[in-house]
């Protein structure tokens, strides 16, 4: 990758290392000092010394702990010869010297002793400090912001543009909408004047949201590569550290550095690790550390006013629903960019990018591979290409062949099964008709938003496909017909399965649940049943409207009333079911046509979808 990484070595780490080195040196000196300064008299064996004493040749002796220095009797006018020897444990020596009339004394302590003594006092503490520092550094710091050794320095990595191939938008495919949004950010970083001149305020925070492996981190790096500005990257999980207070000091430090280098990008990967909703912190009353870190992040984001330093905060998460709502308020991460799993053409484009890195055989058909891999995210596709290349190499092929891809798909799918669903052809077909059923019934009944998108790309664990309806206006009240329309739409999926396959799968259980809940609320909460009248049969009226709230516990009612409620609910649901079936039966050809098209492209949206759905004919009663 073309991006160079410059890890910052914290200052205290360097200090600790110097301390260690110096104390080590002192220790060595201390050991060898006596030896170093002990030049001088020639050394002789102890036995020779004793012999010379006995012969009466020695005039004076100076007995030290480590050394005995002695002088021979001067002959003639020549200077007296001095020798040294190493003492052994010899209690007889003084007696012998006295006998022979040798002048002797103990050696005074050597002159440099004060120095070594000092060292022996100073070095051990130094070593301990060194070791302490070392472990602190490994433990991720401590002591908080007031720490004298500036512990808690940001671990953010600074990416700067490398000369070799950097990551650009050309390396990212299949997420066109996200790219369009981010191109705008890059434009702003490059030519801020163009925007500020007309008074446009650029978003401070952009949150990339999407399932794992769809290229969020990659997109952020591409933004940095395209904009050519410094890029501070830190992962949310790195924030959550052992020592209280360090997380928040990291955030502060990160933004300090960023402001100095503006214009620049701060990228917080896996934001959910720190941005978890403060209320959902679980049994132990919350994680103080995380909360402080989050608060610090909010403070920092509010801190830099629009206009002065151009610091854009990019963040990524695959669990936006767990994020603290405070993070999503205007002025913070007010822009959210969906990075979804790629559709058919997107997958082909991603395969093309990654296939450039391997040698492809002539028979390889990337489109066919893309068709076989619904639900694969970018990372899965990158992995697939690599897996195929490995297989080709194992089979001693020069180039990757189509059959390598076929085998690789099987392997990757086996590994993926736990993560996300990969559907077989039959399942895909059922899901396609199911979703088209929702869309067509939704198009003909009131009370639903406009159908904007139908997709058979699996999302997460639960949904195999989905129909996206967006409200055309804000609705606060709904009438009975609209609620019945909603129920019919919910049943549209199952109805389509019934008509086309003459059988029912388990896929519709969530639809049925929601339809039944809605019908029950109509009867027990909204008083929409003629039989039961305008009575509330639920306890405590909560805001259980417009599809959100669950059913409240029923008021204590008589057995008869309870039966009546059940039969009314059943009536509403069954009527809606009939309505849905009728719509689809009378538009059977269109159902086939749209489903066939959906199977081909996997996603139909926007104008194209509106055109198709406008052809749905209202039910005629004959």
Residue 498 annotated in active site: no
Interaction of residue 353 with ligand ADP, rule CB under 6 A: yes
**Residue 511 interacting entry, from ligand ADP, Zn ion, Mg ion, none, C-beta within 5 to 8 Å by type:** Zn ion
Closest approach of Mg ion to the CB of residue 127, in Å: 43
Closest residue to ligand ADP, judged by C-beta, is 378
- Residue 340 site contact among ligand ADP, Zn ion, Mg ion, none (CB < 5 to 8 Å, cut-off depends on kind): none
130 binds ligand ADP (CB under 6 A): no
Contact 247, 274 (CB under 8 A): yes
Q: Decide if residue 52 touches Mg ion (CB under 5 A).
A: no
Stretch that binds Zn ion, among 175-183, 215-223, 506-514, 541-549 (CB under 5 A): 506-514
Under 8 Å between Cβ of 445 and 603 = no
Both tokens of 60, joined, read 């004076």
Q: What is the closest distance, in whole angstroms, from the C-beta atom of residue 172 to Mg ion in the complex?
A: 13
Residues between 291 and 310 with contacts to ligand ADP, criterion CB under 6 A? none
Between 217 and 249, name the residue whose CB sits nearer to Mg ion.
217
Q: Distances in Å between the alpha carbon of 352 and those of 170, 182, 189, 355, 379?
A: 11, 22, 29, 5, 13
SS3 (DSSP) at 609: helix
Contact residue for ligand ADP among 205, 230, 374, 378 (CB under 6 A): 378
Name the minimum Å distance from CB 382 to Mg ion. 13
3-state secondary structure of 343: coil
Nearest alpha-carbon partner for 264 in 323, 304, 211, 321: 304
The C-alpha angle with vertex 577 and arms to 571 and 582, in degrees rounded to 5, equals: 125
Considering CB distances under 5 to 8 angstroms, the limit depending on partner class, which of Mg ion, ligand ADP, Zn ion, none binds residue 595? none
What is the token pair recorded at 438?
């929702």
Laid out side by side, the sheet with 3-6 consists of 3-6, 157-161, 231-235, 264-269, 311-317, 205-209, 335-338
C-alpha 268/C-alpha 338 separation (Å) is: 16
User: Quick one: what does residue 236 bind among Zn ion, Mg ion, ligand ADP, none, with the CB cut-off 5 to 8 Å set by partner type?
Assistant: none
Binding of ligand ADP by 218 (CB under 6 A) = yes
Does 340 contact Zn ion by CB under 5 A?
no
* Contact range with ligand ADP by CB under 6 A, out of 15-23, 153-161, 213-221, 361-369: 213-221
Near Zn ion in 480-499, by CB under 5 A: 493
Q: How far is CA 152 from CA 34, 249, 250, 543, in A?
A: 43, 6, 6, 46
Alpha-carbon distances of 101 from 9, 52, 234, 332, 340, rounded to whole Å: 69, 13, 83, 97, 104
- CA dihedral over 107, 111, 114, 117, signed as positive or negative: negative
* Closest CB to ligand ADP among residues 316, 490: 316
| Spatial contact of 148 and 139, defined as CB atoms under 8 Å apart | no
The first and second tokens of residue 116, run together, are: 């070594």
CA–CA separation, 499 vs 488, rounded Å?
15
Q: Which residue has the tokens 């550094």?
A: 137
In whole angstroms, how far apart are CA 382 and each of 374, 390, 417?
14, 13, 17
Least Cβ distance, residue 247 to Mg ion (angstroms): 20
Q: Which does 301 bind (CB under 5 to 8 A by kind): ligand ADP, Mg ion, Zn ion, none?
A: none
DSSP symbol at 340:
P
Residue from 215, 245, 375, 458 touching ligand ADP (CB under 6 A): that is: 215
> Residue 31 contacts by C-beta under 8 Å, 6 or more apart in sequence?
none
From the list 181, 435, 497, 602, the catalytic residue is 435
CB of 379 to ligand ADP, least distance (A): 3
Q: 493 touches which of Zn ion, ligand ADP, Mg ion, none (CB within 5 to 8 A by kind)?
A: Zn ion
> In the bound complex, what is the minimum distance in angstroms from residue 381's beta carbon to ligand ADP?
7
Where on the phi/psi map is residue 550: left (φ > 0), alpha (ψ -120 to 50), or beta? beta
DSSP string, 454-478: EE-S-BTTTBSSEEEEE-SS--S--
The site partner of 378 among ligand ADP, Zn ion, Mg ion, none (C-beta below 5 to 8 Å per kind) is: ligand ADP
- The entry of Mg ion, Zn ion, ligand ADP, none that residue 213 binds, CB within 5 to 8 Å by partner kind: ligand ADP
Site for Mg ion, residues 193 to 222, rule: CB under 5 A: 217
**Residue closer to Mg ion (CB basis): 323 or 430:** 323
> Residue 523: which of Mg ion, Zn ion, ligand ADP, none does it interact with, CB under 5 to 8 A by kind?
none
Residue whose CB is less far from ligand ADP, 324 or 340: 340
Q: Which residue has the tokens 């904009």?
A: 227
Q: Which stretch binds ligand ADP (CB under 6 A): 212-220, 255-263, 485-493, 590-598?
A: 212-220
Among 175, 186, 443, 581, binds ligand ADP (CB under 6 A): 175
Q: CA 234: distance to chain centroid?
A: 9
Q: Which does 174 bind (CB under 5 to 8 A by kind): Mg ion, Zn ion, ligand ADP, none?
A: ligand ADP
The owner of tokens 């908080």 is 144
d(CA 225, CA 223): 5
**In angstroms, what is the minimal distance from the CB of 223 to ligand ADP?**
12
Contact status: 236 vs ligand ADP (CB under 6 A): no
465 binds, among Zn ion, Mg ion, ligand ADP, none (CB under 5 to 8 A by kind): none
Near ligand ADP by CB under 6 A: residue from 379, 390, 406, 590: 379
Q: Is 511 in the site for Zn ion (CB under 5 A)?
A: yes
Should residue 375 be labelled a site residue for ligand ADP when binding is judged by CB under 6 A? no
Which member of 350, 441, 457, 594 binds ligand ADP (CB under 6 A)?
350
- Residue 200 backbone phi and psi in degrees, to 5: -80, 135
Asked if residue 174 binds ligand ADP (CB under 6 A), the reply is yes
The interface mask with ligand ADP, positions 306-335, x = CB under 6 A, is ----------x-------------------
Alpha carbon distance 255, 85 (integer Å): 69
- Residue 507 makes CB contacts below 8 A (sequence gap 6+) with 430, 431, 434, 464, 493, 497
CB 389 within 8 A of CB 411: no
With CB under 5 A, what is the number of residues at the site for Mg ion?
1
Considering beta carbons, is residue 241 or 511 the nearer one to Zn ion?
Answer: 511
Q: Which residues bind ligand ADP (CB under 6 A)?
A: 172-175, 212-218, 316, 350, 353, 378-379, 382
Q: Which residues bind Mg ion (CB under 5 A)?
A: 217
**Which residues are catalytic, by number?**
435
């Amino acid at each position: 990758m073309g991006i160079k990484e410059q890890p910052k070595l914290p200052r205290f780490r360097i200090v600790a290392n110097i301390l260690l080195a110096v104390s080590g040196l002192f220790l060595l000196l201390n050991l060898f000092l006596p030896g170093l300064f002990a030049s001088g008299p020639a050394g002789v064996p102890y036995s020779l010394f004793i012999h010379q004493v006995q012969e009466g040749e020695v005039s004076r002796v100076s007995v030290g702990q480590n050394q005995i220095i002695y002088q021979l009797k001067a002959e003639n006018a020549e200077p007296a010869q001095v020798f040294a020897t190493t003492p052994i444990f010899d209690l007889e020596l003084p007696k012998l010297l006295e006998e022979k009339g040798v002048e002797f004394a103990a050696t005074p302590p050597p002159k440099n002793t004060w120095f070594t003594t000092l060292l022996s006092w100073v070095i051990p503490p130094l070593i301990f400090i060194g070791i302490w520092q070392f472990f602190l550094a490994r433990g991720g710091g401590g002591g908080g912001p007031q720490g004298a050794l500036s512990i808690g320095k940001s671990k953010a990595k600074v990416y700067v543009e490398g000369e070799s191939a950097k990551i650009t938008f050309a390396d990212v495919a299949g997420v066109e909408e996200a790219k369009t949004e981010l191109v705008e950010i890059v434009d702003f970083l490059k030519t801020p004047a163009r925007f500020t001149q007309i008074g446009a305020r650029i978003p401070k925070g952009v949150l990339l949201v999407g399932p794992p492996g769809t290229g969020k981190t990659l997109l952020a790096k591409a933004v940095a590569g395209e904009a050519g500005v410094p890029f501070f990257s830190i992962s949310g999980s790195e924030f959550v550290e052992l020592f209280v207070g360090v997380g928040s000091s990291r955030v502060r430090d990160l933004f300090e550095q960023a402001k100095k280098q503006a214009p620049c990008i701060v990228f917080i990967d896996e934001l959910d690790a720190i941005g978890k909703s403060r209320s959902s912190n679980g049994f132990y009353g919350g994680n103080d550390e995380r909360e402080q870190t989050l608060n610090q992040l909010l403070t920092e984001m509010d801190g830099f006013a629009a206009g002065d330093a151009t610091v854009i905060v990019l963040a990524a998460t695959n669990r936006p629903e767990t994020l603290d709502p405070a993070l999503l308020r205007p002025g913070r991460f007010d822009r959210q960019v969906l990075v979804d799993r790629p559709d058919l053409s997107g997958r082909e484009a991603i395969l093309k990018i990654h296939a450039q890195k391997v040698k492809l055989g002539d028979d390889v058909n990337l489109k066919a591979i893309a068709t076989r891999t619904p639900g694969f995210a970018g990372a899965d596709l990158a992995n697939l290409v690599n897996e195929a290349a490995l297989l080709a190499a194992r089979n001693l092929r020069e180039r990757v062949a189509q059959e390598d891809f076929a085998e690789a798909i099987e392997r990757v799918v086996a590994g993926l099964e736990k993560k996300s669903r990969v559907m077989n052809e039959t399942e895909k077909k059922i899901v396609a008709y199911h979703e088209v059923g929702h869309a067509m019934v939704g198009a003909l009944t009131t009370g639903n938003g406009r159908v904007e998108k139908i997709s058979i790309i699996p999302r997460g664990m639960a949904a195999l496909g989905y129909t996206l309806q967006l409200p055309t206006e804000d609705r606060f009240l709904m009438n009975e017909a609209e609620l019945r329309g909603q129920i019919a739409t919910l049943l549209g999926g199952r109805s389509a399965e019934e008509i086309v396959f003459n059988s029912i799968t388990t896929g519709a259980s969530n639809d049925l649940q929601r339809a039944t809940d809605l019908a029950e609320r109509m009867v027990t909460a909204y008083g929409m049943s003629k039989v039961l009248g305008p009575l509330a049969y639920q306890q405590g009226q909560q805001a259980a409207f417009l599809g959100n709230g669950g059913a409240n516990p029923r008021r204590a009612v008589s057995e008869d009333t309870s039966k009546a409620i059940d039969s009314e609910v059943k009536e509403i649901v069954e009527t809606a079911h009939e309505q849905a079936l009728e719509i689809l039966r009378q538009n059977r050809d269109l159902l086939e046509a749209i489903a066939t098209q959906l199977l081909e492209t996997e996603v139909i949206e926007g104008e194209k979808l509106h055109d198709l759905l406008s052809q749905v004919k209202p039910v005629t009663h004959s």
